[in-house]
Structure 1
Amino acid sequence: MTDTAVIDIRPVTEDDLPAWTRTWGNGYLRPYTESSVETVRSTTARDRLIGAFDMDRCVGTYRSSAQELTVPGGAFLPASAISKVSVAGTHRRRGLLSKMVAMDLRGAFERGEPVAVLDAAQYPLYGRYGFGPATAMAWFEIDVHRARMDPLRTADTSSVLLVDAREYLKAAPGVYERVRAGQPGALRRDEPWWQEATGHRTGSADRRSEPFFALHFDPASGEADGLLCFNAEETWGAMLPQSPLWIRDLIAVSPRAEAALLRYAVTVDWVTTVHLPYRSPDTLLPLWLGDPRAARVSALSDYMWLRILDTPRALSARTYGIEATLVLEVADTAGYATGTWLLEGARDGASCTRTTRTPDLRIDVRDLSTLYLGDDSATRLSVLGGTEELRPGALARADAMFRTGRRPWSPRAVLGAHYQAGAP
């Protein structure tokens, strides 16, 4: 067994890419091909790749990207987005993940990225590094026959138009940007992302079933204000249609556009079941159906995890539900977020500065990260032990400040064949 001390944790070079890609593919059960190296090269050109190397063998992978996170109030906060994390089964329990995380978080802090985010494939891993679950996701299966989509309920689908990938690519990014500007938890989608989503980048699309694209147009302005990408599979049983439809992406600027796009999907000929993944648990989408019980929750899970690195910058970037002050004593074993901080929050802005005042709450960085986007309450987290009320009424005040009227949501599009509930 190789001594952990001699395993090299370092940035990946051009020569390392084939070995790094193979190890990542093994970890995610994806076959290695020559083209997969080119795909990784093209999609990670501006990213930070870290590898763990046992002599000339790659045994761990890690990627982070410069991102923007929408926070309550609409500000775009720089973030380090982590993905493609794996450790070879032969080298687990040796601290390799801890070393890669430590290297990347240090780099993010030095680059001025006040938070880091990731989609946690395994719940137990990231809390030890100060991450907390900050958004949740629900997956729905819609029984079309029970949805009661009679003509009176689907008149608004006349504003939905099926388009080809090229037309979709022209309009969809603008629609998403309008939504991202006001959706806490949303991340930026850059041009390579859209190229992959529409199959324009060679070797990146799921070729087994080409998607359909649709846009919703505002009847008043004629401007696209909603997008829908879906796959459907023709299936019959005993001369009866039993076709499933999988929604890859559904983004809408207005409730009207959202309702029309869902109703369109539910009324596609021959479709009996609509699969709708990666929605906020408080989504209104089921309520646009004639019978909301037709939308059954097939899975409910935490989704995006967040890690605060720069406490004053992160807390001062968002707005708060009430005008109030709160003194937080933040504990962070890595040291980044540690300190006693005076948070002065309001509906139109906030400030956060270091203070010598007596704290109102003692809170671990994981709990503070979970609270940050407004999806949880300090009162609830205090029961679990990571948050302690030091001044009576502080928990209730923190709840009123941090919670938002609607739950944060990090819109996810299905770019491959990952429709099953809980797919990472």
Structure 2
Amino acid sequence: MTPRQDIDIRPIHEDETRDWIRALNTGFQFPPTVSDADVRDRTTYIIPERTLGAFDGTRCVGTFRSFPQEVTAVGGTPVRADAISNVTVTSTHRRRGILTRMMAKDLAAAKERGDTVATLIAAEYPIYGRYGFGVATTTAEWTIDVPRAGLDPRWSGPDDGGRIDLVDGDDVRKTGPELHERLRRAQPGVVDRDERWWQVRTGALVVDPASWTEPFHAVYRNAEGEAEGLLTYTVDDHWGDVKQPLETAKVKDMIAVTPAAERALWQYVCSVDWVTKVRTGWRAPDDLLPHLLPDPRAARILTQADLLWVRVLDVVAALEARTYGATGTLVLEVVDRGGLSGGRYRLDASEAGASCARTTADAELTLDVSELGSLWLGDESAVRLAALGRVREERAGAASLADALLRTSRRPWCPDIF
């Protein structure tokens, strides 16, 4: 076994890209063969100095990549984030501190750059809390039994003066980015999407033609002709034994910036001929969907789980970036085993804004930086965390005050995996 100190953690060189991808595929249990097309594609978007490899001699046995991102704070402010992805350690090299070293290297660089938070989507739950990440958003997916839903099968379009138009990928690349910008200005937890994201999702960039299925795209326009929603979906080809269509529509993405758009797009996809089930894709856990149906029981939960994890790197910047629903002052003792963000902070918050600074005043609430990540977007409850023993009140009522300040009326949501 190679000693820990002999595993070299460093940014990869250009000629190591194929070996890095092979290690990545191996870590995620994908076929290890790497195509020339995959190598060419990867080199167009990875940032070499932020693409780490763990090397045992010349063999890559660990992968780690980060890239710039913006995540929307409560109130609509975009916050600089260090987005972490492609994290693997080859099974032959587990338990040697490889991930810890890669994570420490990346987070230190993010702190030095001035990033406010780090973000990731966790494949496995138990790993990332020890690095200061906390669950900041959850996601839900429903399957809709269309015949049971109670919707009018004769429905032919919105009754509010709006309309539904089917469009192609070129139209989506024109309309989608602006709609997504409107969504992320209003929805805490949403992350930005770059041009490549839209190219991949619309087929303008196809890395693996064998796995590509061209989707349908539907745009909702209001009575004034303004686009307010975009739905992307595929439909399988399944028929019953007695020549009966039993097809399932799978929603790949839905952006709705108004309730009218959300209602119209769900009504539309549930009205497509031959579709008897709709899989909603990943939605906010408090999505309007079930109660847009005459029979909400027709929508059955398939998945409800954590999605976006947040690691606070700059407590002052993170707490000052967001808005608050009440007025109050709270002194937080933030414990950070990673040595990046720990200390005592005084938060003075009101509906007009907030200020935060280090302080020597007595702490009122003590919490790990991972719990601060869970509270930051307003989804988690400090009272609940106190009951779980994950935060500690130093002053009676401090957790309730934290909830009054930090929690949001609608839950944060991140629609994307990265």
Fold equivalence (TM over 0.5): yes
Q: Are 1:352 and 2:375 matched, yes or no?
A: no
Q: Are 1:226 and 2:237 matched, yes or no?
A: no
Contact 1:244 1:271 in 2 (8 A): yes
Once the two structures are superposed, the pairs formed by residues 143-292 of structure 1 within 5 Å of their partners are 143-150=145-152, 155-156=157-158, 159-203=163-207, 207-220=211-224, 222-237=225-240, 238-292=242-296
Any idea what the Cα deviations from partners look like across 1:239-259, whole Å, max 9, x if unmatched?
110111100001111000011
Note the C-alpha offset of 1:45.
Answer: 4.3
Code of the aligned partner of 2:76: G
Contact 2:332 2:344 in 1 (8 A): yes
Match of 1:23 in 2: 23
Match of 2:132 in 1: 130
Note the C-alpha offset of 1:68.
Answer: 0.5
Q: Write out the 4+ residue segments of structure 1 that deviate beyond 3 Å after TM superposition.
A: 151-155, 204-208
Any idea what the Cα deviations from partners look like across 1:307-328, whole Å, max 9, x if unmatched?
0011111111111110111000
**Equivalent residue of 1:214, what SS?**
strand
What is the alpha-carbon distance in structure 2 between the residues aligned to residue 187 and residue 12 of structure 1? 27
Any idea what the Cα deviations from partners look like across 1:182-233, whole Å, max 9, x if unmatched?
110010001111111111113157745221111111112x121110111101
Code of the aligned partner of 1:226: G
Note the C-alpha offset of 1:151.
Answer: 5.3
Contact 1:51 1:58 in 2 (8 A): yes
Contact 1:217 1:225 in 2 (8 A): yes
Match of 2:303 in 1: 299
Contact 1:198 1:205 in 2 (8 A): no
**Equivalent residue of 2:319, what SS?**
helix
**Equivalent residue of 1:320, what SS?**
coil
Contact 2:20 2:60 in 1 (8 A): yes
Gapped regions of structure 2 (runs ≥ 5): none
Identity over the aligned pairs, expressed in percent? 47
**Equivalent residue of 1:278, what SS?**
coil
Contact 2:157 2:164 in 1 (8 A): no
Q: Are 1:409 and 2:407 matched, yes or no?
A: no
Any idea what the Cα deviations from partners look like across 1:16-60, whole Å, max 9, x if unmatched?
111001111122233322211112112324772111011100000
User: Over aligned residue pairs, what C-alpha RMSD do you find?
Assistant: 1.6
Match of 2:120 in 1: 118
Contact 2:368 2:391 in 1 (8 A): yes
Contact 1:304 1:410 in 2 (8 A): yes
Code of the aligned partner of 1:145: P
TM-score, length-normalised on structure 2?
Answer: 0.96
Note the C-alpha offset of 1:171.
Answer: 0.6
- Pick from 333, 337, 343: which aligns with 1:333? 337
Code of the aligned partner of 2:30: R
- Pick from 349, 365, 377: which aligns with 1:373? 377
Q: Alignment length, in residue pairs?
A: 413
Contact 2:155 2:271 in 1 (8 A): no
Which stretch of structure 1 is more off in the superposition, 135-144 or 146-155? 146-155
Gapped regions of structure 1 (runs ≥ 5): 414-423
Match of 1:8 in 2: 8
What is the alpha-carbon distance in structure 2 between the residues aligned to residue 117 and residue 36 of structure 1? 25
Contact 2:327 2:351 in 1 (8 A): yes
What is the alpha-carbon distance in structure 2 between the residues aligned to residue 319 and residue 46 of structure 1? 36
Match of 2:69 in 1: 67
Any idea what the Cα deviations from partners look like across 1:79-130, whole Å, max 9, x if unmatched?
0111111110110011101111000000100000010010111000000001
Residues 66, 367 of structure 1: CA spacing in aligned structure 2 closer, same or farther, 3 A cutoff? same
Code of the aligned partner of 1:110: E
What is the alpha-carbon distance in structure 1 between the residues aligned to residue 47 and residue 344 of structure 2? 39
Match of 1:313 in 2: 317
Which stretch of structure 1 is more off in the superposition, 233-242 or 89-98? 233-242
Note the C-alpha offset of 1:14.
Answer: 0.6
Code of the aligned partner of 2:227: A
What is the alpha-carbon distance in structure 2 between the residues aligned to residue 396 and residue 47 of structure 1? 43
